[in-house]
Structure 1
């Protein structure tokens, strides 16, 4: 069991300071920077307050469930998904929100056995009847998703239309006329609409598939061997993009001289790809903060009007794209 002294040592503060912060002492004079360091140490050491401590720490403490509605393999395929989950957990630690339950598809049918909580943050997508199962735990729900979830709940989502328009515009300005897409069908429809709007739609270069790395490899391996490559590809994830780059290299296709690659969802590792990966950046930390703020509004202020927040993106230009020769 983790002790206050261990947290104090890791965060390089006194035990008294660590105790004040973790127990939400109203008279604490600890700086915000130091508080953040203490909470991060507590998270690293997997420290959790007991129920008695939690109830006495603050009358405003919120108890929630974190629903991660994606298979384990899905997290491995999308590093952004993992980063988003971690930022939600960290935001909860920093804002006196206690995650009491973790709901996955493996235990979602057991929600009727879970005690009622103040709210739920949902990362991922719903399947049929999932909403009713979640409402057995709490009526206060915030979805973090790229999909239009239940209109009666708050939603924090990437702005997919803005994201696709941004990257297509940049590729067009760089002289690329044959632009392909590899990824899920729900994103693909938006991609096709934006390509058609830019007079660049070429159906033969659109591949709607499961967003797995193996698919990125298979599709571009076949396209290269059949000499049916586009000038540039927009690929749904960094894992798929890396696999696609490997396939092109095996077919002696140069990146970016022959083909440019752009990935949705920027990840820190993108700098270390060879070549470094041009990617669309969306702040997972900002998404987590917004989701938690919306949930607190529902719980504390009793707001009952559902809100939808679209988070814009930016394009991080790196070595995997270049002007069309």
Structure 2
């Protein structure tokens, strides 16, 4: 496991700076480039390349140009390193296979997908965007998105099952009033309810405990995790546990709880999502759902090569499993519900 010292030495900054960046300390004056470098080094030190046979590597095509288009702003990698880990997984796999990877964002006017052998689309997309891209390139794989168009391959995780794992874990510890903080997927000029929020609501309805007052929705960032948690704490809602839609929000939520003089997990337990590398450095360390983002990227690249090399026309949907990582941020209910 990488240490704060390892990361600090690679980036040439202090251990304190690394710690504050990884904990999304908004008061720290440091450039976005330094923040990005710290997150990248953190991921790279933990990144393990998938085992590939010599035959697979040798049979991989040479000089193929493949595009990777991100449907989110570049700053989103700093708000949620989940996409950063996915990008690094794709870049590592492409390097192994001697593939030229062309990267860009959907609003980049200089990003020409027409001349590429295929396209990896990372992040949420709307129907109009899928149709627009499909006119320019027929070989596409979507990652972490569920386009209505069934012509294209999809790599995704079962978020409903992942939420159920986290909710069942909290319930096993005696928690019945569980809050949720999350965000929405922005699709062009519109947005849609996040699948984690949908799964949370379904689970709470199933056990007869749904309360709309326990749901707070903003952006998928540590800053909004902090803000939404403060809103919950200021409300009259009673709860002993919180499920956050990603680890960045969980980190912000923990800070808000601690600033109120409350303790995690003694007063409020919290579960995150994604298991970004930062989660292990938190105090307390974060219980979270591990999404194998690097493997998702590698799998998507394999599917795209299969399309290009084998002329496959039937689409595939690959569902990558998730895993509950139990750490220190959850415990059994030991007192009456917080009010």
TM-score (norm 2): 0.73
- Counterpart in 1 of 2:158? 159
Partner of 1:66: 68
Aligned to 1:178: 177
User: Shift of the alpha carbon at 1:61?
Assistant: 4.2
Distance verdict in 2 for CA 1:152–1:274, change over 3 Å? same
Match of 2:90 in 1: 88
1:13 is aligned to none
Structure 1 residues 224 and 306: alpha-carbon distance in aligned structure 2, compared to 1, 3 A threshold: same
Deviation of residue 59 (structure 1)? 5.5
Q: 1:133 to 1:145 in 2, by over 3 A?
A: same
Q: CA deviation at 1:94?
A: 0.7
Report if the CA contact (8 A) 2:270-2:329 is conserved: yes
Whether contact under 8 Å (1:142, 1:155) holds in the other structure is: yes
Kindly state the Cα deviation for residue 222 of structure 1 after the two structures are TM-superposed: 2.6
In the aligned structure 2, how far is the partner of 1:238 from the partner of 1:91?
25
- Deviations 1:249-284 (CA, angstroms, capped at 9, x unpaired): 111111101100100110122111111111100112
Question: Could you give the per-residue CA deviations for residues 38-62 of structure 1, whole angstroms, max 9, x where no partner exists?
Answer: xx9xxxxxxxxxxxxxxxx986543
- Say which structure, 1 or 2, has more relative contact order (CA 8 Å, 6+ apart): 2
Summarize deviations over 1:189-246 as a string: whole Å, max 9, x none: 1221122223332221112322222221112213223453421111012221111111
Question: 2-side partners of 1:293 and 1:114: how far apart?
Answer: 19
Shift of 1:168: 0.9
Kindly name which structure, 1 or 2, has the bigger radius of gyration based on alpha carbons. 1
Question: Which residue among 213, 220, 223 is the counterpart of 1:211?
Answer: 220
Equivalent in the alignment of 1:318: 327
Matched, 1:304 2:306: no
Partner residue in 1 for 2:263: 254
Q: Deviations over 1:85-112 (max 9, x none)?
A: 111111111122211x3231331x555x
1:24-63 matches, within 5 Å, as 60-63=62-65
Q: Distance in 1 between matches of 2:178 and 2:241?
A: 5
Query: Counterpart of 2:104?
Result: 103
Q: Which runs of 5+ in 2 are unaligned?
A: 1-43, 45-58, 184-192, 335-339
State the shift of 1:138 in Å.
Answer: 2.0
Cα pair 1:146 1:160 within 8 Å, conserved: no
Q: SS state of the match for residue 90, structure 1?
A: helix
How many pairs does the alignment contain? 267
SS in 2 for 1:189: helix
Matched, 1:274 2:275: no
Q: Where does the alignment leave 5 or more consecutive residues of structure 1 unmatched?
A: 1-39, 41-56
Shift of 1:151: 2.2
Shift of the alpha carbon at 1:115? 4.8
Conserved? CA contact 2:156–2:318, under 8 Å: yes
Helix, strand or coil at the partner of 1:125: coil
Q: Distance in 2 between matches of 1:287 and 1:294?
A: 11
Check the 8 A contact 1:235/1:261 in 2, yes or no.
yes
Which residue number corresponds to residue 30 of structure 1?
none
Residue in structure 2 matched with residue 123 of structure 1 by the alignment: 122
